[in-house]
């Protein structure tokens, strides 16, 4: 390689490595803070570490809760600037060896209820929106005034369609969730499945 060209390349490399990475420069500016309000967070009634039990026919599904976690993360919207914004997420998970139920509130005013079926390798979810000022849920399929589940009466139930997170080859033996029923006081109270079975809330250990 020509010695002059080599020196030019080395100089360019030195400049590139000398530039501070995003987050290290002192002139980086906070653009905005996308934070959740307390009213939004109250739409998830759990503090963490609760145990919820669903009945499904003759079977019981006991899901053990994790800690409820709140995160604040820096996000860089542009690759040409180190300016950033703060994103808040609030979530917790209930799980056993076969299933996982995940509740997540995001800074974009979105509320996700995810169901992971490790046996069938399926991920399913329902999504709604929540108002910052009141926390009130919206963009659901139906608001049910009252619903009886396992001989217990629940009021103001949000029913929403469950979608599959990614495409896969389906077959007749595969069972997936179709509707989810959510209470801001008790969490998920019922899940309908494609084979006409359902999970019904039986107990919560607060």
Using CA atoms, how far apart are residues 187 and 43, in angstroms rounded to an integer? 9
Helix (H, G, I), strand (E, B) or coil at 13: helix
Residue located via tokens 């494609």: 194
Residue 11 phi/psi, 5-degree rounding, is: -65, -45
pLDDT digit string (tens) for 3-48?
Answer: 666 665 665 655 554 555 554 556 899 998 889 999 999 999 999 9
Q: β-pairing, 142-149 with 137-138?
A: unpaired
Q: Indicate whether 5 belongs to any domain.
A: no
pLDDT digit string (tens) for 136-168?
Answer: 999 999 999 999 999 999 999 999 999 987 655
Q: Indicate whether 13 belongs to any domain.
A: no
* pLDDT of amino acid 174: 86
* pLDDT of amino acid 83: 92
Give the total number of structural domains in the chain: 1
All residues at 6 or more sequence positions from 138 whose CB lies less than 8 Å from its CB, including other chains:
128, 129, 130, 131
Q: Indicate whether 164 belongs to any domain.
A: yes
Which of these, 44, 62, 45, lies nearest to 53 by C-alpha position? 62
| Parent domain of 192 | 25-205
The two structure tokens encoding residue 94: 């209930």
Q: How far is the CA of 76 from the CAs of 7, 21, 27, 29, 204, in angstroms?
A: 34, 12, 14, 10, 40
Length of the chain: 206
pLDDT digit string (tens) for 71-85?
Answer: 999 989 887 889 998
Check pLDDT > 60 for residue 49.
yes
């Amino acid at each position: 390689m020509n010695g002059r060209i080599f020196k030019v390349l080395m100089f360019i490399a030195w400049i590139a490595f000398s530039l501070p990475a995003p987050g290290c420069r002192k002139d980086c500016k906070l653009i905005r803070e996308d934070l959740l309000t307390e009213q939004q967070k109250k739409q998830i009634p759990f503090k963490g570490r609760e145990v919820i039990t669903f009945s499904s026919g003759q079977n019981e599904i006991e899901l053990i809760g994790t800690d409820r976690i709140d995160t604040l993360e820096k996000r860089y919207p542009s690759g040409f600037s180190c300016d950033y914004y703060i994103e808040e997420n609030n979530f917790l998970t209930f799980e056993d060896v076969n299933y996982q139920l995940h509740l997540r509130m995001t800074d974009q005013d979105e509320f996700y209820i995810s169901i992971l079926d490790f046996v069938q390798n399926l991920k399913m979810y329902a999504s709604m929106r929540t108002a910052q000022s009141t926390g009130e849920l919206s963009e659901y399929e139906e608001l049910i005034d009252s619903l009886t589940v396992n001989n217990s009466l629940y009021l103001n139930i949000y029913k929403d369609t469950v979608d599959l997170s990614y495409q896969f080859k389906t077959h007749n033996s595969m069972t997936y969730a179709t509707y989810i029923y959510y209470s801001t006081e008790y969490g998920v109270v019922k899940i309908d499945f494609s084979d006409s079975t359902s999970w019904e809330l039986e107990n919560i250990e607060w």
